[in-house]
Structure formats: C-alpha cells, structure tokens
Amino acid sequence: MTVFELALRSMRQNVKHYYLYFFALIFSMSLFFVFSSLQHDQQVQSMLESSDKFLVAFQSAAILLIVIIVIFTISSNQIFLRRRSREIGLYQLIGLSKGWVARYLIIENVLLGFAALIAGIICGALVSRLFVLILMKLLRLDGMPAIDFSLPAAFDTAIVFVLVVVITSVQMIIMIYRSTLLNLFQADQQPDLSSRPPSILTAIYAVLGIVLLGYGYELSGRMVDEQLVLNALLVLASTITGTYILFRVTITGCFFWLRKRKNGHLGLYNSLSLAPLMHRMKGNANSLTLITILSALTITLVTMAYSVYYSAEQDTRMAMPYDFSFENRQLDAQSFTTELEREGINFSYLPIEAVRTTGVILNPLDKSSHIERNLLWLPAEQLLGTGKKLSVPPHGEAVEYNASAHTAFDDSDFSKRYPTKIELESNGQTDSYPLKELVVENLVNSDISGNQLLVSENTLREIQDSMSSTAGYERVQLDTYRISDKEELALASSLYQKYNPDEYSTSDFYSQYKQSLEISGLLIFIAAFLGLAFLASTGSILYFKQMTEAEQEKQSFRTLRQLGFDEKMIMKGIAQKQVVVFLLPLFIGMLHSFFAIKAASFIIISDITIPTVISIGAYTSIYVLFALFTLDYYRKIVRNAML
C-alpha cells in the first residue's frame, strides 16, 4: 500500500477526528472567497464614485484577513496534531521513519485542504451575494445584486489555499522532527497537576502585569500629542505584555491564593472549574492573550466604524448647517432660486452679510505664536433668523465656531485655550477683541473660508469701520438655502452642481453626506467583516481547545459518575469553568477596547455611546453562543462517560 492510498484510507476511517480541522479550512477558504468576490465585483464598484478608494480599502483589509486566516489555521492545526499525536507516535514505533510520517501527513493535509478549498468556494459563492446586498443597504444603494461566479476571486482563494497548506505542512514537519516518542504519547494527556505555589518572584511578576496594564491605560488617555506614534507603540507594548503576564502569572497566582484560603478543600464545583484552570492557565497564556488582544481590536474597530456611520448625517450637518450656499455670487443664487421654484422644491432662503479680515487668535499655551489667519465675522442677529439657538455676544466680544475642533491634533481641553483674544491691526494700531469660548459646530458651511466668529451687529459695524482700508478686508454676501423635504435634496443637489465652481468639490450638504455615507458604510462593512473573522476565529479556537480538554477529562467524569454524582452537579462545575474561559478574555478585551475607543474618540464629533453599547452587545452575544456550544459538547461527554 502506497503512502497516498494509506492517507485516503485513514481519512475515510477517521472522519470524526478530522472534522474540526476540516471545518477550520472550509471556513477560512469561504471567508476569503466572499471577501475577494466583493473586491472584484464590478456591479458594486460601478455604484461607488470613488472606486479607487474602494479597491485600496478592500486590498488592505484582504491582507489583514489573510493574517487572520493563517493564525486561525495554525492554531487549529496545532490542536489537530495534538489530538493525533498518539497515532503519529505509533507510526514511528512500528519502524516508519520521520520522513515517511511527514510525507504521509503532508499528502493528507493537501487532500484535506483541496477538499476544503472546493467546499469553501462553493459555500462562499452561495453567500457572497448576501454580503453584496448588505453592502448596498449600508451605502443606501437601490437595486439587487446580480448572481454570478467570480473567477478572479476563486483564483485568489486558491493562492491563499497554497499559502495555508505550505505553512501548515511546515508546521507538521517541525512537530514531527522535534517531538520524541515519549512526547507524542503524552501529548494528549492532562498536564501535570503538581504545580508549584507562587514564589516572591512570581508575586513581583504578577504585580508587574497589573502595573503595565495601568500604565498603558493611563498613557492612552494622553497619547494624542506631537509624539502620537511613539505613544501608541508604548500603549500597545505595555498592554500586550501586561495581558500576557496577567494570564501567565497574575491569574494563576490568584487561583493558588484562593485554594490556599480554602486549605485545599475545593469541593466538587471548584475542583471541576478552579483546579483545571489553575493548572492550564500557564499553558494557555499565549492563546488567551491572542484572543484578548484580537477581541479588543475587533470591538474597537467595529465600534469606531459604526460610530462614523451612525453619526454621518449629524457630523455632516454640524459641518454644513445649510444645504446650499453661495459666496458673493448673487446672480448664481438668483438663477438657482428660479430653478428650485420651477421644480416645485420647497426651500427657505436667508442672505447673510458678513466680513472677512486677517487677524491673530492668541494662543495662551504658546504666547510666542502669532499666526495670521483669515477671520470670518458673522452677525448673530441675522443668523437668529434661521432658527438657530444662539446667544448674541456682548458688544466687543466674539465666540468661535468650529465643527472640526475635536478632530485637530491639538489640546482637546478647550478651557486651557479659551478665553483668549483676537488682535486686528489697522493703520498701525492693534485692536483686541475678547474671544470667550469655542463651540464645536459651524455657523455656515465649511467650504466658506475663514475662522467663523459670532459677534453682534454693532461689533461687526465697528470692525467694518476700522478694517475697511486694510489688506485682506472683504465684504461677504452669503446666500443660504435649506430644503424642507429631505426627499427633494437629491434633485436640488443635481441642480446646484452646475453652479459649483470646482467639479471635484462637494460644497453642498447632500453631496458631502452621500460621500461620507459611502466612506463610512464601506468602513463599517470592512470592519464588521473582519470582526466576524476575528470573532469566529477566536471563538472557534477556544471551542476547539475546550473540546480537547473535555476528551482529556473524560476519565475524571467517569469516576465522578461512579461515585454517584449526577450530570447536573458535574455540569454546574463545568459551567463555572466556561464562564472564566470565555468571559474572562472577553471582559479584559472589552476593558482594553474601552480605553482604546476613548483614546481614538478625538476623530469622532458625535456621541459614541450607542455604537459602543451595540457593538459590545453583539460581540458578547455571539461569544456567549460559542460558550453554549462548548457546554453542550461537555454535556454529551458527561452523559456518555459511563458508556
């Protein structure tokens, strides 16, 4: 019998031992096929105005997805090899060389992988249209996706398949040549339970893990400054290292401390939950650290992406308070008004007379800074006609409005910068105007040049009189429009485009909102897709590991059943263990993501509370589902322990 024939026979007779690894390969291949088919889908690309950005975003995400797939398959293959270690040892025990065993496993791996590739492409093709439809709904595009098969996506998936097979084959070869017969026959047994109690050095390491996490959290709250990149690297390094020490040393030490307090009398439930965790925590530290960091990354990415999408309309409205505006183009404004009336579009019109000058806004944090900039002075009394809730500043005072203030790489604590003063120079004299505060929104559309300053009409006339003869002075006539019915915005925007002086500019609310929706919709789709990959990978790794541990503990369950303990009592202790195994890395990951989201919230104008709650809730629900699957598998093992 040849090696190839033996591999086929072994696969037929040991299907139940292969299904975990086979599932991992099918899932990986189908996931990448779906993503690649979206990348090559011409129908979706034609619906987006910025297809170049679309492709770049998908290509970047595809690289990250490949990394996820490689990590997932390596972890699954490691568990798979551990479960088959006795079989590998038997081959060597009967006289077969390590080279023969390596060829046998590689042939088997290629056959399994090829079958998984075909199954993954078929599964991916069946659900790819569903993901296209989801993307279209996120972008609020009409129509139904066409049903077709993407050959380029199948080719890309085949390349990833070759990469995965090569990596897993190398992993198998390393395992065979590094393992001794004794290691192979003991690999699937429970670990030695004679763990040593923690020492003074262990206690120091345990405290160090908590200190590193605390330092990372503290630094994340002040990382946005001129050393942003360095601070971000320090936060990542301290958080990852602290998490590893936490699982490897700190939590294990806490378990030992708890056992010591109970004088070794753990009882049934703690013996089924605390004892296995205590003795396996060090061995599982790498995987639990990886799962925690991936969970934190996933929750952060999905939350930030959903926040951008969730607040797209509100953020755009803060930057573009008027649907349309014209600056010093009265003839265009009249023509546009005529066209709106001809089309029967209801609108409100408000002209605003403003002044633009040059001046200096003093920075209390840097008194040597005197940067001259354009200042747009807007009369409060006229703006009140739009229904804005404004307070008219006292005579001689101003209030600055800037919707993008929080997104600037600057000191976000505005109380340190305000109040301050505005200095205007005219005829050799310097006039100062108190600038009381900064409001994070715009008074007029963001395409209007100049820092937007709200003043009373008396103050505006005073500035006109003093600055009219200076360079940079300009009277500004703004013609602003608001459309009453949102359904008519698209038509009004198409009419407005012919008056747009720059064909590449999006200077009206609807165009800006549509562009923001496309970008944020694409962002949340990619983040959610990668989040699904992260979640399925980490959840499956934990599930596979717990299945292996359940098989190892089968004899213990049989002994407990023989002593008279029923299934319900045993499952209660197992449930306590699964709460720690699944929810502990999830909780720590959520804690990491909380500080990460807080650190990155400067790029989001609107409140991110609701997106954060929804993202964490969805992630937790799916993670709990994996825990329930694990409990169901344990229940079957316990129920059949006496058979």
- pLDDT score for 643: 64
* Average pLDDT along the chain, 643 residues, taken 10 residues at a time: 65 61 77 80 60 67 82 78 78 79 82 84 82 75 66 86 87 83 63 55 82 86 72 86 86 75 66 69 75 82 80 84 88 89 88 87 72 85 78 87 66 67 80 84 86 88 83 86 86 84 67 81 80 77 79 81 80 83 84 82 68 80 83 85 69
Domain spans, the chain:
1-189, 324-506
- pLDDT score for 264: 60
Per-residue buried b or exposed e for 481-505, using 16+ beta carbons within 10 Å of the residue's own CB: bbbeeeebbebbbebbeebbeeeee
Question: Are 321 and 507 a contacting pair, CB within 8 Å?
Answer: no
- pLDDT score for 504: 47
Cα separation, 289 vs 274, in Å, equals 19
- pLDDT score for 141: 67
Segment holding 573, helix H or strand E: helix 567-600
- pLDDT score for 505: 55
Question: Are 615 and 295 a contacting pair, CB within 8 Å?
Answer: no
- pLDDT score for 192: 43
Cα separation, 493 vs 340, in Å, equals 10
Per-residue buried b or exposed e for 392-418, using 16+ beta carbons within 10 Å of the residue's own CB: bbeeebbbbbbbebbeeeeeeeeeebb
- pLDDT score for 45: 63
